[in-house]
Structure 1
Amino acid sequence: MENIDRFISEMSSLAWGLPLLILLIGGGLYLLIRVRFLPFLYIGHAINVLRGKYDNPNDDGEITHFQALTTALSATVGMGNISGVAVAITIGGPGAVFWMWVSAVIGMSTKFFTASLSVMYRGKDSNGQLQGGPMYFITEGLGKHWKPLAVFFSICGLVGALPVFNVNQLTQAFNDIILVPSGVTISFTSNLIVGFILVGITSVVILGGLSRISKTASKLVPAMVVLYFVMVLLILATNFENVPKYFSMIFTDAFSASFYKGDSFLGGVVGGLILLGIKRGAFSNEAGIGTAPMAHGAAKTKEPIREGLVAMLGPAIDTLIVCTLTALAILATGVWQSTEANGVSLTANAFEEGVPAIGKYALMLCVAVFSISSLFSYSYYGTKCMSFLFGAKHKEKYNYIYIVSIIIGATTSLSMMINLIDTFFALMAIPTMISTIILAPRVVKKAREYFSSLKKVN
């Protein structure tokens, strides 16, 4: 297992090298400049679209704008925000949060383009049903000779969509918050039991298809975001005197990397810190990776730009808001320096320190709902990749692979799971970003037409 762990770690380091950093951040900046920051001027309009003001039940698609965003958010607002931030702070200190923010702002532009393309270039699966996502906008937008790129994305998506990291951290949270304080000895058997419980819950929802997934996510995710928001505000209120100090440290440490403990990158520790923040930011909001466009491509709409605007809200919610709240809770309580905990255990320590009586149990509830809801969304992404590669009649077979992987995630190490998913996220980003950059001028043209029509109406 140690050799496998080391091999996967080396794969992750290789995948997240300078070329991918240039593609994700450089490509995202190019998209931002190409569209001249225009979508950022229409945040209010995006919220109106999300509220259902422009919904038309007769439009092509399967789910509403709101359901598309909550389905995408149920995958992104999850362990990336609770555990991923803790991992980033453990390795990089407060400065890692700043580079997660940079990743999110650039990611908002990337999400706008990828989600717009997912509606502009929807394709049909082998059953004749409309589908969206990178594999379809590659083949429909760039042509059939680009299909190898779409196939590469889908193959990587089969692994990237596996829920091993979320399950691993949910199991760790259950052990640390519920079982250990109750005097239960943690073992392979106890982890296996947790895995089987998750298999049972997940199976009921994912075998019901996208409709059941989106309806469940649209009810669970908003409620848990509100609960999480309230709990973190309580923690910050009880540690108010520390908040300004650590908030300013997020900026100062971003360029000094005083607390960074990882490998250097581009010859320095600041480079390593930037890479860490970008990686954790990408895992948090998935901008440029290509998963969320699969959900947004299923939205009921004839206007691609509307869905792009809705998708753009995703990184703002999950990274700029939820990740920042988690980071401030961990920093202000001081647990990032006073304990050896990592991942979700570190966040649990912050909640217990900030709200002693109920904090860790409220976190357990949020972790459970975020993790389980993300299991639903990722299964949908995996079945879409399976359908593209092998035909729609075989897509349900992926769910059985997916269910087995839940057991693997519950019984293996954190580092292995992080590196495995990081590697395949990196590989998925390559075809997604290349095709998005090539097709960007078409989105810009469509966006200018749409925004001009809005001005005429107003």
Structure 2
Amino acid sequence: MSFIEDAVSGFAGWIWGIPLLILVMGGGLFFMAYARFTPFLYFRHAIRVLAGKYHEEDKEGQISHYEALSTALAATVGMGNISGVAVAITMGGPGAIFWMWVSAFFGIATKFFTCTLAVMFRGKDSEGEVRGGPMYVITEGLGQKWKPLAIFFCIFALIGALPIFQANQLTAAMNAVLGPNMGYDPANSFVLFGTEISYASSIIGVILTILVSTVIFGGIKKIAKVASRMVPSMVVLYFILVVYILLQNVTEIPAIFSSILNEAFNGSAILGGGLGAVIIVGAKRAAFSNEAGIGTAPLVHGDSKTDEPVREGLVAMLGPAIDTLLVCTLTALVILGTGVHESYLGAQDTGLLGVTLTLEAFNTAIPGAGGYLLGLCILVFAVSSLLSYSYYGVKCVSFMLGAKRGNLYNYLYIGTIIVGAVTSLGFVVNLIDSSFALMAIPTMVSAVILAPKVWKAAQHYFTRLKAGEFDGK
């Protein structure tokens, strides 16, 4: 296992180099400049669309605008924002948060373009159902000669959509919260194929497998309904908890922002490297946080009930604003404000710290209850993420092998929940990072090539909107 972990770690470090950074962040900057920042002027309209003002039940598609965004957020607002921020700080220091913000601003433009394309160039699966996603954007927008690039995306999406990170961090959270109070020691383990496996983690993995299995075989409509009910309430609870913590140390908030800005340009990555390493850490964690440019969000937004591609792109661009600029910032303020990260900076032998660091921060700020309340949020966020990610893989298998075989992915998916629960965090993070990087290549390349079509459609839509064409809807 050590050889595999080293190989995956080495590949993740190599693939997330300057070229991919230019593709993801540079691509987002290109989209912002190309659209002349115009989509940023329509956040209010996007919220009205999200609220259902323009929903038309008779249009082609599977789910509403609200269900599409809820499902996409279910895959991002959860562990990427609670655990991913902790990983960013332990790897890159406070300065990595600034580069997560930068990536999020670029991500807003990227989400607008990629998710507009997901509706603009929808295709049909083998059973005649209208579907959207990067693979359809490539084949319908660029032509069948580009299909190998679409297959390339699907293959690595099958790995990127695996539930191993969510299962890993939920298991770590449950062990940290429940272990000391239920009399069990998560360190108790058995050996399987030469690998030590925790009894407690295995049990949690089995429970998660059963829980997730009851929902994911119901398809996107059932997943979307569950996600649309679970996510908003937990975002509100998480927001209340964080605000309560920050109010206790409100005078320290300016100093926290100052440290983030200072180390963004003058700091160095905790696990090695200078400013460039800090930027890469921030970009990677932002990519995991909001998935802009990776291609997962278009898989969901492409299935919304609408015949206005630009309208769905506007809804999709709310994602990075919510999950990275809001939720990630709140998490970072708690961790940095409580100072729990300071004892780990530079301590190479501690390894990556994810959700356990965030739990420590909440327990420090709200003794006794903080861990349990955060644990509840983590449980709901992680389970909602587990539900959403399964659909990504199902769509990719359906594209490659036919719609009737799509659900075959779910069997692989639920099997790897247990694997994720008992695997090391470092291996999980590097594997997902590697897959996301490879998924970003076809997603961003196709979006950049087709950007003129998005901008033309956007200008037409905004002109009609200003003329009051949609006022009666």
- TM-score interval, normalised by the smaller of the two chains: over 0.9
Post-superposition shift, 1:181? Answer: 3.8
1:262 aligns with 271
Give the Cα–Cα distance (whole angstroms) in 2 for the partners of residues 397 and 95 of structure 1: 42
- Match among 208, 228, 245 for residue 218 of structure 1: 228
More helix per residue: 1 or 2?
1
Q: 2:313 aligns with which of 308, 314, 328?
A: 308
Q: Is the 8 A contact 1:49 1:306 kept in 2?
A: yes
1:209 partnered with 2:214? no
Alignment of 1:46-445 (within 5 A): 46-186=46-186, 187=189, 188-257=198-267, 260-264=269-273, 269-338=274-343, 342-445=353-456
TM-score by length of 1: 0.98
1: CA distance, partners of 2:141 / 2:213: 35
Post-superposition Cα deviations, 1:305-363, rounded to whole Å, max 9, x if no partner, equal 00000000000000000000000000001101135681100000111111113111011
- The alignment of Structure 1 onto Structure 2 pairs a total of residues equal to 453
| Aligned equivalents of 1:114, 1:95: Cα separation in 2 | 28
Distance in 2, Cα, partners of 1:214 & 1:82? 22
Q: Secondary structure at the match of 2:341?
A: helix
CA distance in 1, matches of 2:258, 2:216: 43
Paired amino acid for 1:130: V
Shift in Å at residue 189 of structure 1?
1.7
* Partner Cα distance (2:272, 2:19) in 1: 17
- TM-score scaled to structure 2, two decimals? 0.94
Counterpart-to-counterpart distance in 2, 1:146 and 1:242:
53
> 1:262 Cα shift?
2.4
In 2, the alpha carbon distance for the partners of 1:232 and 1:2 equals 38
Q: CA deviation at 1:3?
A: 1.3
User: Gaps spanning 5+ residues in structure 2: where?
Assistant: 190-197, 345-349
Question: How many angstroms apart in 1 are the aligned matches of 2:316 and 2:128?
Answer: 26
- Once the two structures are TM-superposed, the CA of residue 417 in structure 1 deviates from its matched residue by 0.3
Runs ≥4 residues deviating over 6 A: none
Deviation at 1:448, TM superposition (A): 0.2
Counterpart CA distance in 1 for 2:93 and 2:15 is 23
What amino acid does structure 2 have at the position aligned with 1:81? Answer: N
Mapped partners of 1:270, 1:99: distance in 2: 11
Q: Name stretches of at least 5 consecutive residues in structure 1 with no aligned partner.
A: none
**CA distance in structure 2 between the partners assigned to 1:225 and 1:346 by the alignment:** 20
Aligned to 2:347: none
- Judge which range, 282-291 or 240-249, deviates more: 240-249
2:37 partner letter: F
Deviations 1:138-174 (A, max 9, x none): 0000000000000000000111100101100000000
Distance in 1, matches of 2:271 and 2:108, equals 27
**Partner AA of 2:271 in structure 1:** G
C-alpha RMSD of matched pairs (Å): 1.0
